[in-house]
Structures are given as structure tokens and as C-alpha cells.
Structure 1
Amino acid sequence: MTTSHDDPTQVVKALVAAFNGDDLAAIEGLYEPDSVLIPRAGMEPVSGPDRMAGFARLRELGLPMKAEVRHSYIVDGIALLVVDWSIQGTAPDGREMNLSGTGTDVFRRGADGTWRYLIDNPDGGA
């Protein structure tokens, strides 16, 4: 999967496609090397392998992700997106799952024109 996108909203779509396709390597490619993920409101940010471990745990649920960009603001190669997301359905163990939130995500456009996550805060609306 390519990570070169004309605008950061395409990165959100690529993340959903990679998540639903169980492609953790593609997800990793959507993040700046020094980027952070805030797993839940009030938690310390994680990066690198810890960030990817969080995605792997969510993938173990075997449920699809949906995401819709509500707002997108871009200034000088930095973007702030407000994103409504959800992961819903019946997990392999029979539990009904209803995970959702409104994220605030920061993206940076690289010298190559590629937008990548810099800060991923899925509960940023909390």
C-alpha cells in the first residue's frame, strides 16, 4: 500500500483499509517514525512497537473499523483532523463490542509530499 496522499483525509481512509485488511505493516507506514498514539484519554502516549501492539490487540477482535472525517484544517504542512470512528460487532469470544470515539489527529506533510500521522489521539474529543 502506498503512503503518498494528496491530503490527510486520504491517510485516514488508508488506515481504515489497512486495519480492515489486517495489514499492520501498512498501518505503520502511515505514521511518522517519531509519532505518538494516545491509547485512551489520560494515558501516556506510546510510539513505535507499543503503538503497533495496540493496533494488533484491536485486530484480534476481528471486527471492522469505520471512520469519517468531520473536520480538516491545514496550515503550512500541518493538519488537524477531527475523526469519528467505530469498531462494532461480535468478537470471536461472543462479546458484543461497541468501541467508538471522536479523535483529534495531527498530520505532517513530509518533504516528499506524503502526509503521515504525527499525533493520533482516538479519544481526543473526550
Structure 2
Amino acid sequence: MTSHDTFDDPAALSARFVSAFNAGDLNRLDALYEERGVVVPVPGHAVAGPGRSAANRHLLGLGLPMTAETRRVYVADDIALLLVDWSLNGTGPDGREVAMKGTATDVVRRGADGTWRYVIDNPHGIA
């Protein structure tokens, strides 16, 4: 087991996200966020709660595998900034080719249980 396989490494969060995403498990995805955590499905538009779940459900509906590589991690106490290169590629359910990619700028926080969770999941970075 490497340090990136543990819950106490903030960089492992993106690998846990990819694992849950590729398994099509929305419940596991939701568990990776703080209760009030947000995702930014469209640049400039952050959503939480049911909106966050709907945004992730939409991406899961594409039925495509995600890849991700953590480029940088900056940690200050129990808060970290993750820079993550990600992509979704393949043929969507409508038969059209999908090629999505970006560099996420994600803010994560370590909870009292030691687990890192998303506070802000911003897949489009500075777009």
C-alpha cells in the first residue's frame, strides 16, 4: 500500500473519486464531499446538496471511464488544494464521441475522523 492509498493523504481523494465514478456509485461519490461541499459543473456555477448529486449523476450517465492524475498538492494544516488533470473519453450513450478534460482546482479538508473530503470540487479550474 502506498501513501496515496490511505485516507490520510489528501492526494488519495482524487483516486477515490475516480474509483467511485468508474464504479458508477453515486452514493460513494456523495460521501467524498463535506455535507455543504460544492461542485462546479459549469464554470462560475457552484452547486451543493441535491444539485451536486444531480451534476455527478449527469456525468455518470455518460457511462465513460474517468482518468485522473494529481499534479500538485498544497497542504496547510487540515486544508489542501489539489491540482488534478482529468479526462473522460469515449462514445456516449447517444453514439457521439465525448472528449472532456481539464485541470481541477479542488479544495479539500480533513475531517475529525482523519478523512479528506471535498469542500470545493472545481473540475474546470480557472476556465
Distance in structure 1 (CA, Å) of the matches to 2:33 and 2:51: 13
Equivalent residue, structure 1, for 2:48:
47
Equivalent residue, structure 1, for 2:31:
29
SS across alignment from 1:12: helix
Equivalent residue, structure 2, for 1:108:
109
Equivalent residue, structure 2, for 1:86:
87
Q: Is the 8 A contact 1:101 1:125 kept in 2?
A: no
Percent identity over paired residues: 55
Give the structure-2-normalised TM-score.
0.92
Give the structure-1-normalised TM-score.
0.93
Equivalent residue, structure 1, for 2:58:
57
Question: Which string of whole-angstrom CA distances, capped at 9 and with x for unpartnered residues, describes residues 54-74 of structure 1?
Answer: 111111111001111010010
SS across alignment from 1:93: coil
SS across alignment from 2:12: helix
Distance in structure 2 (CA, Å) of the matches to 1:121 and 1:64: 19
Q: Does 1:16 align with 2:18?
A: yes
SS across alignment from 1:11: helix
1:42 Cα deviation after fit? 2.4
Higher strand share: 2
Number of residue equivalences: 122
SS across alignment from 2:34: strand
Question: Which string of whole-angstrom CA distances, capped at 9 and with x for unpartnered residues, describes residues 2-36 of structure 1?
Answer: xx701111111011000000110000110000111
- After the TM superposition, list the runs of 4 or more consecutive aligned residues in structure 1 that deviate by more than 3 angstroms: none
In structure 2, the gaps of 5 or more residues are 1-5
